[in-house]
Amino acid sequence: MYLQKADLPEIDDDTVSSSDRVVDAIIRGIWSARYVPGQKLIEAGLTDAVGVSRGPVREALKRLAAEGVITLTRHRGAYIRAYGRLDADEMLEVLEVLTCLMARLAAEAANRDQNAKLMRDAYEILGGQGNRHGEDALFIGQRHHFYDTLLAIAGNIQLARLLPTTQIQLLRLQIMPYLTAQDRQAQLDEYAAITKAVLAGEPKTAESAMRRHMRRSRERFARAPDEAFAALV
């Protein structure tokens, strides 16, 4: 079984600031799909849930707004960020560059240590259960594990720092309800092509397979109905 951020131990360290605890609680909520794009965050609810005063909550919200995780407005309050069509397309355009590099580096390192086994295991988890209906949270977690494995095999620390993982999670949560069974199967086929190229140790092929996947992801977002983007504030 693999870990998601929501599965990690709760922060229990007296040296951690109150605002850090609030940030951690919100991020965990996103990763567990308890918080979804467009959802309003209630300050009073956060103070009760985390056990802190309003000051740290407001500081945490400002920090997350600066990172693009939430939208914070003077009169409407704080909402989990929801992407508009243009914002989503621009984010996916950036992710195409980063994930293509990740796939290429992973293919270059596929024959080192236990990397091939890790890659096979990640795909088997994804391909074995990811196409079931009604398991959106499970599928999102499996996809996250697949990408985490690619990133770990790639072994580039700076790439890991650059990838906006929480924003990627928000994109997944936002589009998932609008994917058809055919869309989901297409995703699995794309992941299979990426996996095959990585395991074969073919960097250029892996990069091309990832590029096709990301461009088709942009097409899936483009086909989503307007209601997929209606949560914007």
CA distance 57 to 44: 9
Asked if residue 70 and residue 163 are part of one domain, the reply reads no
**pLDDT (mean) for 135-153:** 86
Choose one of 58, 80, 102: the last residue of a domain.
80
Asked if residue 207 and residue 129 are part of one domain, the reply reads yes
- The amino acid sitting at 86 is L
Asked if residue 63 and residue 128 are part of one domain, the reply reads no
Asked if residue 199 and residue 130 are part of one domain, the reply reads yes
* pTM exceeding 0.75: yes
DSSP 41: E
Output the pLDDT for position 134: 45
Output the pLDDT for position 230: 59
Q: Give me the domain span that covers residue 160.
A: 85-229
Asked if residue 154 and residue 107 are part of one domain, the reply reads yes
DSSP 8: S
Asked if residue 76 and residue 99 are part of one domain, the reply reads no
- Specify whether the CB–CB gap between 162 and 99 falls below 8 A: no
Choose one of 32, 49, 80: the last residue of a domain.
80
For Cα atoms 110, 114, 118, give the angle at the middle one, nearest 5 degrees: 80
Output the pLDDT for position 14: 54
Asked if residue 108 and residue 76 are part of one domain, the reply reads no
Q: How many CB atoms lie within 10 A of CB 163?
A: 17
Tokens of 141: 């977690």
CA distance 21 to 39: 20
Asked if residue 96 and residue 30 are part of one domain, the reply reads no
Output the pLDDT for position 32: 87
Asked if residue 100 and residue 185 are part of one domain, the reply reads yes
Name the domain count of the chain: 2
Asked if the model's pLDDT at residue 41 lies above 50, the reply is: yes
Mean of all residue pLDDT scores within the chain: 88
Three-state SS at 93? helix
Asked if the model's pLDDT at residue 75 lies above 90, the reply is: no
